[in-house]
Chain A
């Protein structure tokens, strides 16, 4: 007897392809949904069955709860895996899934509601002993903010209580900015999330982004799988992730891990999740938020622990007991992941859409690729720009960097601009190699990191000439 009759994957792109694989390993048939522009996309090709969700805009397809539920039910699925983004952290969706009698492969709506509200989450985490940033949660006026800033030190950060992805965040550099900044953040929050509730916390400068991956079953067993370092990011979008972090000693890891495990036990969390921290220059941890879903960068943890996290999520949601104990989790070596986005780093990371005219995927020792693309496929303009992820692993960070450089050199995508040349520069950048990284790394080094030339392979230049002279029937250059 299998875990499920059929799993419906309510996502697209690389994560949908990724999620199909462990299901297939477990002998579970997979159905995917697709929007019109994704009809020929890779996840549709890889799945056993595919159901049209609706037109291309996400709100009419991947975000349309009714459409997704209907597709899952009509195709005979008894479980839904949401991936990341879209409906993954929407408790209403989780509720609806359960109401229809299907299994939602993720945390309960109750937990999502607590952790999805920044103020509620802070309170819950703090109650379990997780360090959080000094903050005022019920902001009334600017005077209150100024007093707080003077006490904990400037700058401060205003955040929308219901926010995410950096939206509605406002940095207050000094007391003079308090009044206006607060009003601006409230206005954005109102528009974006329907509620103007904001809170103000101390801004952690030059910090590092470190997050703990954990797994929990419904029987109260919680373990952590160590941390990931995600400081290489731009506008809160991560580009390079690693595990483990070179910042953590085994003692600190064990201590912070225990804090995370306790908090999740207290909250009653089930399935995989991530607790994100900012670590300031002095090494102090401050919890940022809990991601109640699989994360893009889960691969690096898998590479050094040997566990397939999504496969574990499938089993846990089916009622399996977590067979692992904390002492079974051994971190071996070092893994790095690079995100290949269809963006032009030279042009302010503007999205780049179009047909992939050429694609050379990579492989080789200790390299893993998670991709949702193929040659000839057209990158649609409706969704996020992540095309693929590549992951390298080595006995130490240096080896993993060497392998990543090799992989990036081989990887080649034509037709759209990508972050590949930028990632190559990052892997060569001295501070990165030395591990001297922080969340401002990309912004600080952007000039040097984008100082690459996109070199077209010589054969294609010559081919362009041969095409011209063949098409015109004569050489217009030779006189």
Chain B
């Protein structure tokens, strides 16, 4: 995108796309490909070397922000998301910066009320030009607050239709969604419509037919095809999309391309040019970018997915590219990597039972649910149990989804399928995210999720209307005060926005910053591994000034502490470094004893994000009913209620909001009595 065009404003940009024949490209390297193939671990030190190259390369936009990167930046990269966005924006004046926003989930994992959505969008508007927005239910009213804010702010709104291949996902269905989008955005003039094939499952012919249908209906529509490489058919699919009239495609640098992100740019451009398309890209710059990437990409080897290679089975399990490496990582850390093929197979049944699109937060719900089901089944009955489960599911679907067709034992097995369902799955079935795109699941699913007694109540409570209209604005001053209490100082507006997205990660990040400063000045090798042997040194620039750190010595770990001597700008300093084992011992957790009545332990390992309920904050001395929710633990982005097994009075609350807790950790103790 030439800077001159960018300066003329977003309408002029869109007109150029609409009226011209040229094909433009979005490079997703910094964000989506970085997320899908490298767990979003790219350092700003490396990315900043690409900025001038991208700026001169003729891309339409660079996806630099959004998805899980904001969370990852706070949690593991220690990059200030606002600083990163501003840096990209300032260093790339000739291309557009792009984000991916999850409708009402914004960049977090829960439904946000309108006032928070507005605040979050407004805060990033100055640095971000293109706002791609999707909803995992294709429920267009959920996109409204983002659309309004972006369009009012004079930036490019790019509504995305979540795409997959399934019998109910007909052209007619997608056209209905598109119609709602066009109506929300007041026509097709001010938007780029994105067909979001986040799992990489669309067959080339299917994609051509769909885009053709869209353009038949809305000839002036600018369409971008976002497609992950996962199934291996990405280049033919893009070629067909181009033939149908799509003008924009997501790509990445050859040296970044792997299996679950986006296709390599140079072969795609060569092929499209061979077919006669006018593709906007400076190939020399693309060469330069890949050369630069080759110089640093090895640093990220350990963040690549545990399973490598294209994967045609994605067309049935539909795990989106962006969730691939993190799911495998969780499986490895949880010690159930060997169950992954079963979990993926389970997911392919799951998406026929409860129908929505596998993208955040839906993909997390699917993943957590089926990882849970398969682990439980494996624990209870081993490989045999898993084979039996799949065989029951096969027979169930062969019978046309009739429970009656199953034996009593098989029916019971099916009814236990969703036992211990997460709160997020329950909320999904209660309509709290919005109506499901292809209707509510069958009666037995409610019985399985909510139990025989709870099913009827759940169905009665289920709502069809827009969840946004029922979600009251959050009391921002209260949240700000809570943040100030955790942080120990008043937050800036930007820090507050980060807190609204990820309370614990934001506070932890800011505390890290307070202690360790802005580590983005460090070369990637030093960030990951430090200085290895005495005499190793690194020169870094802070502000405009050079500094030099040289490792002098690393002491033996005595009393849980190693003394590291560094020469800092030629002056020796001794830094005591606490060994992780010592730190862990210091923070040793209290376990709830199962025998003791009134000791409530954590049901899962995760983060306590709420004590009490939305309507009742609990404190010591408060009276509890039996079954009342005491706390809620977030794990892998899902909510898990911890309920009191008895009535009584809270004697002690042993954790605070945002504490990380381990399974079995003592959360609260209750003095029994009353009811």
Chain A residues engaging chain B, CB cutoff 8 angstroms: 357-358, 375, 458-479
Q: Which of A460, A467, A474 contacts B528 (CB 8 A)?
A: A474
Neighbouring A residues of B538 by C-beta, 8 Å: 466
Q: Does B519 contact A (CB under 8 A)?
A: yes
Question: With A358-B571, A463-B568, A478-B41 given, is the CB distance from A470 to B551 under 8 Å?
Answer: yes
CA distance A476 to B569 in the complex (A): 25
B108-132 at interface with A (beta carbon < 8 Å): none
Interface centre among A358, A459, A467 (most CB of B within 10 A): A467
| Interface contact A463-B76, CB-CB below 8 Å | no
Does B167 have its Cβ within 8 Å of any Cβ on chain A?
Answer: no
Nearest CB on A from B331, distance (A): 15
Q: Name B's A-contacting residues (CB within 8 A).
A: 39, 41, 75-78, 512, 515-519, 521-522, 526-532, 538, 540, 542-543, 547, 549, 551, 554, 562, 564, 566, 568-569, 571, 573, 575, 577, 579-580
B580 touches A472 (CB 8 A): yes
26 A-B pairs whose Cβ atoms sit less than 8 Å apart in the complex:
A358-B571, A375-B571, A459-B540, A460-B517, A461-B516, A462-B516, A462-B540, A462-B542, A463-B566, A463-B573, A464-B515, A465-B517, A465-B522, A466-B530, A466-B549, A466-B566, A467-B564, A468-B564, A470-B532, A471-B530, A471-B554, A473-B530, A475-B527, A477-B76, A478-B76, A479-B39
The CA-CA distance from A475 to B517 in the complex, in Å, is 15
**Known contacts A461-B515, A462-B521, A469 near B573 by CB under 8 Å:** no
**Chain A residues in 8 Å Cβ range of B580:** 472, 476
CA–CA, A464 to B564, complex, Å? 9
Q: A469-B529, A472-B579, A478-B76 are in contact. Are A462 and B564 (CB under 8 A)?
A: no
| Chain A residue contacts of B517, Cβ below 8 A | 458-462, 464-465
A446-B76 Cα distance, complex, nearest whole Å: 41
Bound: A375/B568 CA distance, A: 14
Chain B residues with CB under 8 A of A460? 517, 568, 573
> B522 near A466 (CB under 8 angstroms)?
yes
Inter-chain contacts of B564 with A (CB < 8 A): 467-468, 470-471
Q: Are A471 and B562 in contact (CB under 8 A)?
A: yes
Residue ID in chain B nearest A456 by CB atoms? B517
Q: Which of B41, B516, B571 contacts A464 (CB 8 A)?
A: B516
Sample of 11 further A-B pairs with CB below 8 A, known A462-B549, A471-B554: A358-B571, A458-B543, A462-B542, A462-B547, A463-B573, A465-B517, A466-B549, A466-B566, A470-B566, A474-B530, A475-B527
A478 to B78, CA, bound (A): 8
- Determine the distance from Cα of A468 to Cα of B562 in the docked complex, in whole angstroms: 9
Task: Find out whether the CB atom of A464 lies under 8 angstroms from the CB atom of B575.
Answer: yes
Provide the residues of chain A in CB contact with B528, threshold 8 Å. 469, 474-475, 478
Bound-state CA distance A459–B545 (Å) is: 10
Closest to B78 in A: A477
A470-B530, A470-B531, A472-B579 as given contacts; A459 in contact with B569, CB under 8 Å: yes
Closest residue of chain A to B75 (Cβ to Cβ) is: A479
Q: Which chain B residues lie closer than 8 Å to A476 at the CB level?
A: 580
Q: Please indicate the chain B residues that have their CB under 8 angstroms from the CB of A458 in the complex.
A: 517-518, 542-543
- CB closest chain-B residue, reference A461: B517
Q: Known interface pairs A458-B518, A462-B521, A467-B564. Does A475 touch B542 (Cβ–Cβ under 8 Å)?
A: no
Q: Which residues of B contact A470 (CB under 8 A)?
A: 530-532, 551, 554, 564, 566
Name the distance in Å between B430's Cβ and chain A's nearest Cβ: 33
In the complex, chain A residues whose CB is within 8 Å of the CB of B569: 459
Partner among B75, B78, B549, B562 whose Cβ is within 8 Å of the Cβ of A463: B549
Interchain CA distance A154-B540 in the complex, whole Å: 64
Residue of A nearest to B580 (CB): A476
Alpha-carbon gap, A478 to B74, bound state (A): 10
Residues on A with C-beta less than 8 A from B577 are: 467-468, 471-472
Cα–Cα, bound, A466→B538 (Å): 10
**Chain B residues within 8 Å of A462, by CB:** 516-519, 521-522, 540, 542, 547, 549
Interchain CA distance A459-B575 in the complex, whole Å: 13
- Whether B76 and A459, one on each chain, are in contact in the complex, defined by CB atoms closer than 8 angstroms, is no
- Please, which residues of chain B bring their CB within 8 A of the CB of A471? 530, 554, 562, 564, 575, 577
CA distance A461 to B75 in the complex (A): 19
Q: A466 is contacted by which of B76, B77, B526, B543 (Cβ under 8 Å)?
A: B526
> A-B pairs with the 3 shortest C-beta distances?
A461-B517, A470-B530, A469-B530
Name the distance in Å between A249's Cβ and chain B's nearest Cβ: 48
A461 neighbours in B (Cβ, 8 Å): 515-517
The contact of B519 among A357, A465, A467, by CB within 8 Å, is A465
C-alpha gap A394/B123 in the complex (Å): 48
If A357-B573, A467-B575, A472-B577 touch, whether A478 touches B566 (CB-CB below 8 Å) is no
- Inter-subunit contact B529/A459 (CB<8 Å): no
Complex interface: chain B residues within 8 A of A478 (CB): 41, 76-78, 527-528
Pick from B516, B547, B554: contact of A465, CB below 8 A. Answer: B516
**B568 close to A473 (CB less than 8 A):** no
What is the bound-complex CA distance between A471 and B568, given in angstroms?
A: 16
Distance in Å from the Cβ of A378 to the closest Cβ of chain B? 14
A475 to B571, CA, bound (A): 24
Complex Cα gap A221–B529 (Å): 74
Chain A residue with Cβ nearest B583: A476
Separation in Å of the B261 CB from the closest CB of chain A?
A: 19
| Cα(A469)–Cα(B578), bound, Å | 11
Closest residue of chain B to A478 (Cβ to Cβ) is: B76
Contacts of A466 in B (CB 8 A): 522, 526, 530-531, 538, 549, 566
Residues of chain A within 8 A of B530, CB atoms compared? 466-475
For the complex formed, measure the closest distance between the CB of A104 and the CB atoms of chain B, giving whole angstroms.
Answer: 43
Distance to closest chain B CB from A159 (angstroms) = 44
Docked pose: A473 CA to B515 CA in angstroms: 19
B575 touches A469 (CB 8 A): no
Give min CB distance, A416 to chain B, whole Å: 15
CB distance from A190 to the nearest CB of B (A): 47
B512 contacts A468, C-beta separation under 8 Å = no
| B527: A residues at CB distance < 8 A | 469, 475, 478
Closest chain A residue to B520 by CB distance? A462
Min Cβ gap B426→A in Å is: 29
For B513, the closest partner residue in chain A by CB is A461
CA distance A107 to B551 in the complex (A): 56
Measured CA separation A479–B75 after assembly (Å): 8
Nearest-neighbor residue (CB-CB) of A475 within chain B:
B528
CA A331 – CA B130 in complex, angstroms? 69
Q: Bound state CA distance, A357 and B549, in angstroms? A: 16
Q: In the complex, what residue of chain B is closest to A460 when comparing beta carbons?
A: B568
Contact B77 A463 (CB under 8 A): no
Distance of B370 from chain A, by nearest CB (Å): 23
Tell me, in angstroms, the Cα distance from A476 to B512 when the chains sit together.
Answer: 12
Interchain nearest-CB distance for A354 vs B (Å): 13
Closest CB in chain B relative to A338 CB, distance in Å: 25
Residues of A within 8 A of B551 (CB): 470
Residues of A within 8 A of B579 (CB): 472
* Whole-angstrom distance between the Cβ of B551 and the nearest chain A Cβ: 6
- Closest CB-CB distance, A149 to chain B, in whole Å? 48
**Contacts of A467 on B, CB cut-off 8 Å?**
530, 564, 566, 575, 577
Select from chain B the residue with minimum beta-carbon distance to A358. Answer: B571
| A471→B562 CA distance, assembly (Å) | 7
Q: Is the CB of B542 within 8 A of A479?
A: no
Report the minimal beta-carbon distance from B633 to chain A, rounded to whole angstroms: 20
- In the assembly, what is the distance between CA of A476 and CA of B528, in Å? 9
Chain B residues within an 8 Å CB radius of A479: 39, 41, 75-76
A470 to B549 CA separation, bound complex (whole angstroms): 12
Residue in A closest to B531 when the chains form the complex, CB atoms: A470
B542–A459 CB distance below 8 A:
yes
Complex Cα distance A478/B522, Å? 13
A358 CA / B531 CA spacing, docked (Å): 23
Give the most central of A465, A469, A471, A479: most B CB within 10 Å: A471
Q: How far is the CA of A479 from the CA of B40 in the complex (A)?
A: 11
Contact between chains at A459 and B77 (CB < 8 Å) = no
Q: How far is the CB of B459 from chain A (nearest CB, A)?
A: 40
CA distance A459 to B540 in the complex (A): 9
Distance in angstroms from A331 CB to nearest chain B CB is 41
